Amino acid sequence: GSADDRFFYLSQVNMNDWNKSIPFGTYMDYEKSGVSVQRYENDQITWETAKKLNIGIELGLFEKLNIQADIFRDVRTNILMDRIQLATMGLEANVRANVGEAESQGIDISADYSQSFNKDFWMQIRANFTYAHGIITKAEEPDYSETPWRSAVGKPINQTWGYVAERFFVDQSEVDNSPEQTFGEYTGGDIKYKDINGDDRISGLDRVPIGFPTAPEIVYGFGISTGYKGFDFSIFLQGLGNESFWVSPYYTAPFVNIVYPGEVVDLNTVRNNQLLKIYADSYWSEEHRDVYALWPRLSETVMNNNSQTSTHFMQNGAFMRLKTLEIGYSLPLHVIAKAKLTQCRFYFNGVNLYTFSNFKLWDPEMGGNGLGYPIQMVLNGGVQLSF
């Protein structure tokens, strides 16, 4: 479970639930709190079980190259999950049980190469690569034989389900002649979704697996350090792949008043989002009906139709970052010996210098909120002295 959901062998009953208050009296102006069940007792819940297999090798060659490689497999059973709850059962709270199963496998490789060619020239190369893929192999769910795309079995553990966004509606006439979308008010300039099951209605039945998992399946890094006489140079790059994230249509919506989770704010305080330049440069309007723009029609509030999880706001989270780079020069010992120094090194380095990514709106590690605090580029320069 979680830190606030433990001791499953005990039930949880709220004896003072005002959400289920009962009004009475001649004018129904008296109220008493109701009773609600938040959890039913279940003494059959037990531990999740994991069976792990790891095959590894450590290889050293020529006293210069070291390689470590691991192939792993993890099979988990008795995963705690919510059971199917039918309205006819009359249950008030979800019932949980150890009914889920999942498995994951992957490979983890690291390599280091080090060599001194002569007293003036040396080099070190290092690299690492990890690939891990996990899928759900068993879950209690309804019969999805007619809508197989809704089943979680066989899908990645961190898979996201959402709607396939075709484009924006051109105008109200197209809205009137398209399948009904069940997400509240919408008109020209709002997102048009694809009718997956062909029932002429866009609903939860049309949600399909979209994108890569939200946790990266590939993580890697590589770098080199080398030196020649008094000069030294090092560089390290890192990256990830097979990951998707979604631009938040709420936290980045222009002009709307937002509240972040956990915040306590004065209801009279209005804090409108700023307008991102990328939205100002690409949005639908009556004057410019770009049905493939980045942002739908502007509104004073977040439109529920446009804030559904869909392919419209889906982004590929893969990137490679120039994480660190350093250049240095150490003065010869015979030059600094008169000053009673054992080392005098001048250096310049940088952190987070450049990011290679197909996502250009902001740093991909910021995820879906481009109005958050960005990852910083840091530049340093200095002198190291040793006496």
The predicted model scores a pTM of: 0.81
Q: Which of 44-48, 106-110, 328-332 has the highest mean pLDDT?
A: 106-110
For residue 221, what pLDDT is reported? 97
Express each pLDDT in 9-22 by its tens digit.
889 898 988 888 88
pLDDT for 207 beyond 80: yes
312: confidence class by pLDDT, cuts 50, 70, 90: very high
Express each pLDDT in 130-153 by its tens digit.
999 999 999 999 889 889 999 999
Express each pLDDT in 171-192 by its tens digit.
999 999 999 999 999 999 999 9
Mean pLDDT is lowest, of 86-90, 121-125, 186-190, for 86-90
Which helix (H) or strand (E) covers residue 334, if one does? Answer: helix 333-336
Residue pair 202/315 in contact (Cβ under 8 Å)? The answer is: no
208: confidence class by pLDDT, cuts 50, 70, 90: very high
Helices (H), 237-312: 277-280
Q: pLDDT higher for 160 or 342?
A: 160
Q: pLDDT higher for 275 or 232?
A: 232
For residue 267, what pLDDT is reported? 67
Q: Which long-range contacts (CB under 8 A, 24 or more apart) does 374-383 make?
A: 376/352, 377/350, 377/351, 377/352, 377/353, 378/350, 378/351, 378/352, 379/348, 379/349, 379/350, 380/347, 380/348, 380/349, 380/350, 381/347, 381/348, 381/349, 382/346, 382/347, 383/344, 383/345, 383/346, 383/347
pLDDT for 369 beyond 90: no
pLDDT for 76 beyond 80: yes
Closest by CA to 49, choosing from 3, 80, 72, is 80
Stretch 312-338: mean pLDDT: 91
Average predicted confidence (pLDDT) for the chain: 91
- pLDDT over 90, % of the chain: 62
Provide the phi-psi class of 197: left if phi over 0, else alpha when psi is between -120 and 50, else beta: alpha
CA separation for the pair 339, 327 (Å, rounded): 24
